[in-house]
């Protein structure tokens, strides 16, 4: 039986929402955080990137949850670091004063029991430094639950597959581990692309990450259409990941996944020669990698990259 005092069982949590030019979606995300059935205090910090913070969002309220009076506060702040999502998240992390910190994208919505279920896991196992959950993907009116079967995220597993439980909007972590062990979000990664994945790879190196195997976050996906410059940025970011993490060399399936994404990005950008070269490298690393076929179809002009991405999104998947 857990005999920890109540204030230790349900410590205060700061929830960071980085945002830019999506005030209505942000307000919806904040409301979902404030409506948590978590019987502890929650501070929300909305960090505005390349925009003036909206003071009307700020509030200080009290609510009764599980016979306890708890705080639900909202403050706003500006991104004082590199413009973009990584800098905004780091600006928020610097402002956290609570024992726990959580993240939520401004267009995602938490289920009301998310925090309570995650922190219950931390109460049961004090070696856990971070807890993730499954997600519910919403795209073009279609809903797909994505739940990883494993109860824990390991470095080997995350190298092999970009697990849906590693989505940033699902994460709650001990603030000390975020600051002292994992470190800030990488602001140097090209375009800020896959910055959350890179950060989670670092987290796997230093702490135990548990998973609540339930879809506790609604993740809104948008129609994707990219110019060639955007695809080039993706290629650069993925190459950056491979260079930064030599562990991929010990995970053929994981390395082939990244190489396949690079080949697809080249094909989508109109670089047929580069795409075919990347397809060959991917196949040599792991002939089972399905992105080789997708990249080849785009490189040969048999299908557009936007069509492939849209079809995958309808199935709750990304490229």
Percent pLDDT > 90 in the chain is 84
Q: Is the per-residue pLDDT at 243 higher than 50?
A: yes
- Helices 272-285, 291-299: inter-axial angle, 10-degree rounding: 160
What ranges do the domains of the chain cover? 6-220, 228-314
What pLDDT is attached to residue 316? 79
Identify the CA nearest to 232 among candidates 259, 264, 257, 185.
264
- The per-residue pLDDT for range 296-315, each reduced to its tens digit, is 999 999 999 999 998 888 88
pLDDT of residue 5: 44
Q: What pLDDT is stored for residue 228 in this prediction?
A: 63
The two tokens of residue 206 are 């230093």
Q: What share of the chain is helix, strand, coil (3-state, %, to 5)?
A: 45, 25, 30
| Domain 6-220: top CATH class | alpha beta
Taking only the tens place, the pLDDT of each residue in 172-229 is 999 999 999 999 999 999 999 999 999 999 999 999 999 999 999 999 987 655 556 7
Instruction: Summarize pLDDT for 120-132 with one digit per residue, the tens.
Output: 999 999 999 999 9
pLDDT band of 93, cuts 50, 70, 90: very high
Per-residue exposure over 230-255, b if at least 16 CB sit within 10 Å of its own CB, e if not: ebbbbbebbebbeeebebbeebeebb
Which of the four pLDDT bands, split at 50, 70 and 90, describes residue 319? confident
CB 99 within 8 A of CB 11: yes
Question: Band of the pLDDT at 148, cuts 50, 70, 90?
Answer: confident
- What pLDDT sits at residue 7? 54
What tokens does 1 get? 């039986």
pLDDT, the chain, mean: 93
> What pLDDT is attached to residue 6?
52
Q: What percent of the chain has pLDDT over 70?
A: 95
pLDDT digit string (tens) for 27-37? 999 999 999 99
Q: How far is CA 299 from the centre of its chain?
A: 29
Number of Cβ atoms within 10 Å of the Cβ of 293? 12
Residue 52: pLDDT over 50: yes
Over residues 257-267, the mean pLDDT reads 97
Measured CA to CA, the distance from residue 195 to residue 183 in angstroms comes to 12
Burial of residue 140 (number of CB atoms within 10 Å: 0-12, 13-18, 19+)? exposed
């Amino acid at each position: 039986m857990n005999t920890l005092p109540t204030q230790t069982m349900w410590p205060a949590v700061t929830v960071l929402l980085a945002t830019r030019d999506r005030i209505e979606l942000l307000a919806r995300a904040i409301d979902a955080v404030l409506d948590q059935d978590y019987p502890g205090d929650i501070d929300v910090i909305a960090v505005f990137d390349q925009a003036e913070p909206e003071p009307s969002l700020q509030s200080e309220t009290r609510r009764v949850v599980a016979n306890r009076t708890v705080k639900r506060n909202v403050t706003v702040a500006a991104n004082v670091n590199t413009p973009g999502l990584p800098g905004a998240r780091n600006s928020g992390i610097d402002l956290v004063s609570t024992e726990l910190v959580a993240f939520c994208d401004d267009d995602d919505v938490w289920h009301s029991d998310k925090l309570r279920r995650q922190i219950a896991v931390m109460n049961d196992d004090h070696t856990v430094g971070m807890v993730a959950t499954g997600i519910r993907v919403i795209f073009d009116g279609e809903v797909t639950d994505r739940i990883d079967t494993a109860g824990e995220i390991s470095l080997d597993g995350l190298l092999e597959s970009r697990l849906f439980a590693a989505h940033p909007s699902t994460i709650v972590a001990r603030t000390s581990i975020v600051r002292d062990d994992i470190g800030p979000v990488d602001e140097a990664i090209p375009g800020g692309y896959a910055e959350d994945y890179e950060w989670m790879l670092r987290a796997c190196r230093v702490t135990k990450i548990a998973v609540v195997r339930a879809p506790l976050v609604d993740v809104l996906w948008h129609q994707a259409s990219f110019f060639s410059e955007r695809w080039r940025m993706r290629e650069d970011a993925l190459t950056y990941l491979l260079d930064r993490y030599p562990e991929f060399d010990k995970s053929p399936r994981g390395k082939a996944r990244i190489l396949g994404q690079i080949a697809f990005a080249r094909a989508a950008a109109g670089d047929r020669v580069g795409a075919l070269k990347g397809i060959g490298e991917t196949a040599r690393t792991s002939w089972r990698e399905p992105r080789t076929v997708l990249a080849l179809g785009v490189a040969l002009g048999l299908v557009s990259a936007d069509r492939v991405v849209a079809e995958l999104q309808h199935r709750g998947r990304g490229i």
